[in-house]
Amino acid sequence: MKRAIGIIIHPGFQLLDVAGPAAAFEQAEHYCPGSYSLEMLAPGGGEIESSSGMRLTASPLSADAKLDTAMISGGEIIRSMAAAEAIVAWLRGANVRRTASVCTGAYLLAEAGLLDGRSATTHWWSTQDFARRYPKVKLEAERIFIHDDSVWTSAGISAGIDLALALIEDDLGPAIARRTAQQLVVHQRRPGGQSQFSGLVELGGRSGRFVELIEWIRARLAEPLTVERLADRAAMSPRNFARAFALETGITPAKAVERLRLEAARMAVETSNASLDRIAEKSGFCDAGRMRRAFLRSFGQPPQALRRAATRA
């Protein structure tokens, strides 16, 4: 059965939000002919300019579009409010089996009411604004992608490839999804629960205020890193530091330390042959059991599974 995939764009769309998933579906069709057809759609159709200035040609988005899956691109949604409103109106009446969004495309799904009461994610930079605008959505800001019934949402830009691979696995099974990932030369599909590591913590906060502190933490992951010690390094009182850090990064200092430890541990698990006990010690988890529990909470998989997946990729 051929599944019609409609990728819906708008002026200011992010090119990789479109190209990444399109390439994934193209490769899956190569491995399993007759599975997918792709169509670019936009309100009014014609040449649509992306945020980079490059253009794609789209067919008109119409009420009678016969799609299996509608995927909404993110990007500069406010560049054309008329186009955004047209997409939202279309979504409210769309008769499709699945609806998905990449990056800030989640705003359009939320505006259409499709995310009310559902779990969803979007680009880490937009999470605070998104949560304020759409309180009925169960926003899980750290997730790479989320599947809640017939609605799928994903984080920023490259996570659209993870989302597409998950949709392919849902349709055609893990073997085709794995071969597609290998052909695209990307890591075998990351689990949706994996954290968006390239977020505010990595940048030292929205203003970069804590860049030096983050680098200082990275160099001392095996040491005790209490709020009091971090506050002293930042030359602030513990209370003021905790408040300022959470405001800048969106998470507590303790959660940030755990995230940085997870990042370091995951990298070591996937790229080295060091024992799990040694990795746990160097990354500050003290023992492999504690590290395993942290991996399960954040990635949904134990370290051994991630190591096996990295070896096969």
**Residue 202 placed within a domain:** no
63: left (phi over 0), alpha (psi -120 to 50) or beta: alpha
* pTM for the structure as a whole: 0.72
The pLDDT, as a whole number, for residue 42 is: 98
Pick 65 or 198 by higher pLDDT. Answer: 65
User: CB within 8 A of 201, min separation 6: which ones?
Assistant: 214, 249, 251, 256, 259, 260
Residues 157 and 216 in one domain: no
User: CB within 8 A of 282, min separation 6: which ones?
Assistant: 221, 222, 264, 268, 274
The pLDDT, as a whole number, for residue 190 is: 55
What is the total count of domains within the chain? 2
User: Burial level of 281, CB count in 10 A (0-12/13-18/19+)?
Assistant: middle
Give the end of a domain, one of 184, 219, 249.
184
What would the pLDDT profile of 214-264 be if each residue is shown by its tens digit?
999 999 999 999 999 999 999 999 999 999 998 888 789 999 999 899 989
Give the end of a domain, one of 169, 184, 199.
184
The pLDDT, as a whole number, for residue 192 is: 45
What would the pLDDT profile of 90-148 be if each residue is shown by its tens digit?
999 999 999 999 999 999 999 999 999 999 999 888 888 999 999 999 998 778 889 99
CATH number at residue 84: 3.40.50.880
**Residue 51 placed within a domain:** yes
Residues 177 and 250 in one domain: no
**Residue 37 placed within a domain:** yes
User: CB count, 10 Å around CB of 198?
Assistant: 14
For 230, the domain range is: 211-312
Please say whether the beta carbons of 91 and 114 come within 8 A.
yes
Residues 95 and 175 in one domain: yes
Chain Cα centroid distance, residue 38: 22
Please say whether the beta carbons of 165 and 180 come within 8 A.
yes
Side chain identity at residue 302, one-letter code: P
